[in-house]
Every structure is written in C-alpha cells, then in structure tokens.
Structure 1
C-alpha cells in the first residue's frame, strides 16, 4: 500500500514513524532523494492502513506492506523516489506473489477517509511497468447510475462501506485524477 507522508521532510516522517507514542508505522519510507529506509520487517505487522477494506478484506494492516513516500501530496513525486519505489515494488511483489492489482493506495482501501498518495502520484507509470493495475478498458454501461458503478467498483476491489461521493472520488484519484463533476461513463470504463 502506497502512502504519502504529508510532512515537511523525510526526517520528520522518520521520527514520527519510529515514535511508539505516535502509534503509526510503515514497512518502508522513501525520501524525495531516493533514500530508502526499512522500518518494519515485511513479515511483521505495521500500523499504516487503519479502518477500511480492499477486496472484501478488513484488517488491511495484517495483510499489506506499507510504503510511505516523502511528499506532502501537493507536488509531483521525484524521479529518484519513483525509481526507488519501482525497484522496491518489484522485489516485494516477487517475494509475496502480489499481482499488479494488489498494489493500492491508501485512498483505495479507505475512501473518504484518506486521499494518499493523491492526484499527483503517477499510477500510469507504475502500470506501464507492470507494478500496478492499468486503467481498464471496460464496456460502457447501459445506464449510468450509482448502484451499477458501486457494483463495478466492488469487482475492481473497492469494497469499503462508503457513500457514492467518496467511492467516486477514490476511483478518480486512482484512475482519473483530473475528473470533476457527476458520475459519467468514463468512470465506469476505467475500472474494466
């Protein structure tokens, strides 16, 4: 699971992630300069996900590897950081037999509660390298309605119990970050 730190520096994030009083942790932190820190062993539980679900599974902390990226969420992720993330994801996916569809953002499993890694994160880049699910090429629905959108989103993995607005925002953060306005056909087709 990919996050952004929303802090001023990697050092500040490192301090917080290593502070037992903060009750938050992650397996990895990647600085904007590409520096990689491993904070928790991959087989151990880290406290990075919180409430939510993905593919019908709750307790995401127990079944995921958290990767924090040094970014406030308001600017693009740096080239050294993305290069490091790609190498890390390649190894993690191989070691744990994770398919590209299993690489998610915090906003995917916690719609309405979390927005990281945010609209500036380059999901398309990861998808081109086989490190994240690509944008779908699904059929257009006969009727554009919230119930059929929820059905399609659940098949794609979005199973957290949230309202329609939060669900639409989460799907758009991942697949259509510039989209605004009411539900439309393109919101269905990106899910495949």
Structure 2
C-alpha cells in the first residue's frame, strides 16, 4: 500500500501501530508482542544493499523476504534470512513502514539492554539507509527526529531509552556507526519537542 510520504512533515500520526501518510509494505517477518510487554526502547540501525550502495528496492525486498540471490553476489549469503525493521528512512527522507509498532519486528537479534535480553520484545527498530562511515543526510536526521517525537508521544517509555544497535549488541554490531551524529539527532529531537 502506497501513501503520500510527508518528507517535510512536522508531526506524524500513529494509528493502531501504523504511521499515517507513509509508504506501507507489510512484512511477514514479525510476531505479536506479548500484551503485557510495554514498548520501552528505540533502536537506531543502518542498512545498505548491496553494502555501501544506496537507492533501489533491495532493502524492502530483504525485509519482505523477496530478495533475489542472483541480483548481487552479496545477496547469496543473506537472501534466506528472515529479518525486518519497523521502519526505514531512505536517504531522501522518505519513510517505509514494514511492521506495526505494536508488533515485534526482527531487527535486534541477540541483544541486551539494562539487564534485559531479547530487545525485540520491547523495542522499536528504525533503519537508516546508510553505512557506518558515510554521513547520513539532513533529511534523514529531520525525519528520524520527527518520527522519534511521534513514537515518544505514543510510547512515553522511549523518552530516555534511545540507543544504537551497537549499544545492545556490542562486539556483534557497529551500526549506526561513527558517521551517525548523535549530537545533531538529539538537538533536533529537543528542538522538535
């Protein structure tokens, strides 16, 4: 389902776990959250497919389980993986949502935060189209901060629990990497608040 993507929006609406006015591509790579589990962690990731290349539909194909192993030699090693994120923020700021925030996306893998394992159980995963060492775009920072504000409004426990994938899977993951400007993101988050 394709909706108009508001790249310059100052406010996002969330209805039944879904953003309004963004591209929705429902993934089957999710599971229901335990109804007694509160959403209390926002995890920032990065992804590019093939690695270091931007644009195209390969990331969506990957999260939807449609990645063709013959499209790039790298895909032969990942096309059978069943992973997803709640949202992807592309280089131009467009957002694609794959999994309802009320459900568990499969983004964190083996992970731990504040003495709790299995971060997928209580987190929301946002992917930025990027790499550890290529700067992210101003549109991505703007959209991430606006999306974060909407998520915090809907799930207040996220307020003080925003981390990188590297923070919950140290030694295993490095994203969003040294190129992610946490100071810029937090300043925009405060400014939009």
Q: Which TM-score applies when normalising by structure 2?
A: 0.64
**What does residue 45 of structure 2 align with?**
3
**Deviation, structure 1 residue 82:** 1.1
The residue correspondences of 1:1-192 to structure 2 (distance < 5 A) are 1-7=43-49, 8-10=53-55, 11-19=57-65, 21-130=80-189
Which residues of structure 1 form unaligned runs of 5+? 132-192
* Structure 2: unaligned runs, 5 residues or longer: 1-42, 67-79
Conserved? CA contact 2:89–2:140, under 8 Å: yes
Contact 1:6–1:73 (CA under 8 A) maintained in structure 2: no
Larger radius of gyration between Structure 1 and Structure 2: 1
More helix by share: 1
Structure 1 residue 2: Cα displacement:
0.5
TM-score by length of 1: 0.64
Runs ≥4 residues deviating over 4 A: none
RMSD: 1.6
How far apart in 2 are the matches of 1:130 and 1:26? 21
* Aligned length in residues: 131
Task: Show CA shifts across 1:111-142 (max 9, x none).
Answer: 000000000001011222456xxxxxxxxxxx
More strand by share: 2
